Amino acid sequence: MENKRDYYEVLGINKNASEAEVKKAYRKMAKQYHPDVNPGDASAEAKFKEANEAYETLSDSGKKSQYDQFGHAGPNQGGFNGFRHDDIFESFFGGGNRNGIQRGANLKYVMEINFKDAAFGLENDIIIERMEPCNTCQGTGSKPGASLNNCKHCNGSGQVQQKQNTPFGQFSSIKPCDVCRGKGKIVIEPCETCKGNTKIKKDVKIKIKIPAGIDDGQTISLKGEGEPNMKGEHPGDLFINVKIRPHIIFQRQGSDVICEIPITFIQATLGVELDVPTIDGKVRYTVPEGTQTGTIFRLKGKGIPFLQSAGRGDQYVKILVEIPKQLSDEQKEILRQFDKISGDEFYEKKKSFLDKVKNILRM
């Protein structure tokens, strides 16, 4: 890790760069150093890989937050990258990928989970709608028993080569044949179920494993769970965007949990034992006498488990001293009597403030 350059330095941006600026910086470097642009140039390839690594971290809000806090030790590698860097390069030069394989479409799904499930993880089934090969024609698009003709435009391959002039020279890319739509065959009698489209929409059940410690807005990628291409092969990926429902008591800051607890001014003055709620259950905690409002106590190891690593954050308990309203005459009189027998020495901040005021008036 000591030899790694700062990711912001790699992409030539500052820490306040927007998502669009991060992507723009990466696109610029991808154009300049991609191996297809610099064949046989080991230095360019190394810079391209370095830019990929920087982009995969800084384009993901969760990884970026961890990197900003912990440096190269923070980002979690693998499984949470919501964008494949090859997709950017393909947007420059076209085509499915550099091997000429046409991948199917990627799919997105928003999964909403509760606070504790995000903390401790869960496995759950989801139902997604995606295009699947037609069962009637087995994905051929042709009526069962009917013949298929080879496409003359692509000679039955389903692909055609396309050349494109760019500022970096001429590049060749492989595109699906627009005559047969990548199937390599011409349908004479269309399938009655899919109308010759080869695929139909289906509801598919997929088991999702949410890792402990995942944060709001992070993305899980499931390779090969997207839609297949026109030939029913090489499916794209499924990207699960995780949304966490707010908790009625807890707030989250990274791997730490924040909880505010109101107590009476009598409890704050005399001290009190409280049952403090945590994501693990109740914890007995003694609030010492003389606790001021806004005081924060730490419960070590009672926070969120670290994502894909051992250990947990902490829980911070903020004490809010509540002043009673609508006191009875008797209650008010008791407080007045208490105030009479209490001098300023009981109130350190008040005494300090009055001393400062006196000093100002003498000037």
Contact 299, 279 (CB under 8 A): no
Kindly state the DSSP code that residue 122 receives in the 8-state scheme.
Answer: E
Task: Give 107's contacts (C-beta < 8 A, 6+ positions apart).
Answer: 128, 130, 225, 226, 227, 236, 237, 238, 239
DSSP H/E element including 318: strand 315-322
Query: From CA 334, how far away is CA 317, in angstroms rounded?
Result: 31
Helix (H) or strand (E) holding 273: strand 272-278
Question: For all residues of the chain together, what is the average pLDDT?
Answer: 83
**195 or 255: whose pLDDT is higher?**
255
pLDDT value, residue 104: 84
What is the per-residue pLDDT across 39-55, written as a single tens digit (0 to 9) for each?
Answer: 778 888 888 888 888 88
Where would I find the beta strands (DSSP E) of the chain?
107-113, 122-133, 148-150, 159-166, 169-176, 185-187, 199-210, 219-222, 238-244, 250-253, 256-264, 272-278, 281-287, 296-299, 315-322
Instruction: Tell me: pLDDT of 172 over 90.
Output: no
Q: Which of 305, 267, 306 is nearest to 288 (CA)?
A: 267
Bridge-based pairing of strands 185-187 and 148-150 is: antiparallel
Round to whole Å and give the CA distance between 202 and 133: 9
d(CA 190, CA 320): 72
In Å, how far from its chain's centre is CA 194?
37
pLDDT value for 57: 87
Distances (CA, A) of 260 to 115, 277, 297, 316, 319: 16, 10, 10, 8, 6
Enter the tokens of residue 177.
């044949």
Q: What percent of the chain has pLDDT over 90?
A: 35
Closest by CA position to 232, among listed 90, 96, 99, 105: 105
- Between 73 and 240, whose confidence is greater? 240
The CA radius of gyration of the chain, in Å to the nearest whole number, is 31
Say which residue the tokens 């690593």 belong to: 309
The closest of 252, 255, 274, 254 to 263, measured between CA atoms, is 274
Is the pLDDT score of 243 beyond 90? yes
> Residue 177: what are its φ and ψ, rounded to 5°?
-65, 125
Q: Is the pLDDT of residue 69 over 50?
A: yes
Residue with tokens 């670290």: 306
Confidence of residue 6 (pLDDT cuts 50, 70, 90): confident
pLDDT for res 147? 82
CATH numbers and ranges of domains, the chain: 250-362 (2.60.260.20)
Taking residues 245-268, report their average pLDDT: 94
Q: Which residue reads 């590049």 in tokens? A: 171
Q: Is the pLDDT of residue 299 over 60?
A: yes
Q: State yes or no: pLDDT of 16 exceeds 60.
A: yes
Task: Assess whether pLDDT exceeds 50 at residue 90.
Answer: no
